[in-house]
Structure 1
C-alpha cells in the first residue's frame, strides 16, 4: 500500500527516516541528480544539505546506473534495501546527539527505553482510522512490534507486523491519532506529552 493511502504520514528527524524517504524516492522515480533528490525530499518536508545527502547515498551504497532510455539514475542495491535491520543504528543523527540527549532526560524510564528503540528504527508514522501505521527499515517491523507489545500501551489493543510495517491497533480513531503523535515524538527523541500515564513495564 502506498504512503498516499495513509492519513498525515510524517517522518521523525532521524537518519533512518531520511534513508527510508530516499529509498522510496529512488524506487518511485528516476532520480538523476542529488539536486533533484533534494527537491523531492523537500516536498516531504525533509530539508537536507548536499553534504548530508552525499553521505546518505554513500551509506546506502547508491550508485548511478544506465536506464532503458539511456539516462543515468540513482539506484540502491537490493542487498541494502532488504538488509538486516540490526545494521541500522538506533540513534539520531550525529549532529543532533546532544540535543536529543537533553530531551531524553525529560522522559520517564519506560519512555526512554521505548524511545531508544524507536529512534533509528521508525521511518514514518501515519494513521488509517483506528490503526497507527509505523514504517521501519526492512526486517525491523517484528522487532519493533514486539517492543511495543511488551509496553502495555494504554489504548492500544495489539500489533500486527510484516517485514517493514507495523500496524498498532487502537481502540478508536481518536486514540490512534493520539498514539501516532506520541510514537513520532518518541521516534524523534523528543519530549512526550504522555509521560505520566501511558506505559507500564
Structure 2
C-alpha cells in the first residue's frame, strides 16, 4: 500500500471510530486488508500530526489537530496553551509537559511560531523537548511561552 493511500485511510478510520492506541489502529487496518507493522503506524501518526483528544467515556482517542499551516498565529497559540501542562528550563533545553498524546501538537505549534533561537523540537507522547542555542536563549524562550 502506498503511504499516501495509507494516511488517507488512517484519517478515515479515526474519523469513523474511536481509536485509542497504535495497536487498535494496526488492527483496524488489518481488518480492512492492509497488513502494516506497529512501527509503520507510529510513523504515520507522527506524519499526520495526530493528537489525542477526549472521546466518549473520558477515553482518549486519536484526532487531527484543528490547526493547519494556514491558520492564524492566535489559533496556533491557543492550541499550544490548550495542550501544555508545564514548562521547565534546564540549561539550553526546555522540557514541556503536555496532555497525553499532545507533545507533537505542541511541537508543531512551536515550530509554526518560528521562535528566534530555537534550534529544534523533539516530541514524545506527553513531553516536548525544545532545544535553544544557549542557556540564556532558553530562558528567554520559556518566558515568551509563559506569557502567551
After TM superposition, the score normalised by the length of structure 2 is 0.51
Whether the aligned pair in 2 keeps the contact of 1:118 and 1:144 (CA below 8 Å) is yes
Q: How far, CA to CA, are the matches of 2:103 and 2:96 in structure 1?
A: 8
Match status 1:160 vs 2:128: no
Judging changes above 3 Å, is the alpha-carbon distance between structure 1 residues 175 and 84 closer, same or farther for their aligned structure 2 residues? farther
Q: Which runs of 4+ in 1 moved over 6 A?
A: none
Count of residue pairs the alignment pairs up: 90
Q: CA deviation at 1:114?
A: 3.2
After TM superposition, the score normalised by the length of structure 1 is 0.39
Please name the residue that 1:136 is paired with: 98
The one of the two structures with greater contact order (alpha-carbon pairs below 8 A, sep at least 6) is 1
Please name the residue that 1:171 is paired with: 133
Q: How far, CA to CA, are the matches of 1:116 and 1:141 in structure 2?
A: 14
Please name the residue that 2:10 is paired with: none
Match status 1:180 vs 2:142: yes
- Map Cα deviations across residues 61-101 of structure 1 (whole Å, 9 max, x no partner): xxxxxxxxxxxxxxxx9x75xx2476xxxxxxxxxxxxxxx
Question: Runs of 5+ in structure 1 lacking a partner?
Answer: 1-58, 60-76, 87-108, 187-201
Please name the residue that 1:145 is paired with: 107
Q: How far, CA to CA, are the matches of 2:130 and 2:107 in structure 1?
A: 8
Q: CA deviation at 1:116?
A: 1.1
Judging changes above 3 Å, is the alpha-carbon distance between structure 1 residues 84 and 130 closer, same or farther for their aligned structure 2 residues? farther
Please name the residue that 1:121 is paired with: 83
Q: CA deviation at 1:135?
A: 0.8
Q: How does 1:6-155 map to 2 (within 5 A)?
A: 80=59, 83-84=60-61, 110=73, 112-155=74-117
Q: How far, CA to CA, are the matches of 1:154 and 1:169 in structure 2?
A: 11
Q: Secondary structure at the match of 1:153?
A: coil
Question: Runs of 5+ in structure 2 lacking a partner?
Answer: 1-53, 64-71
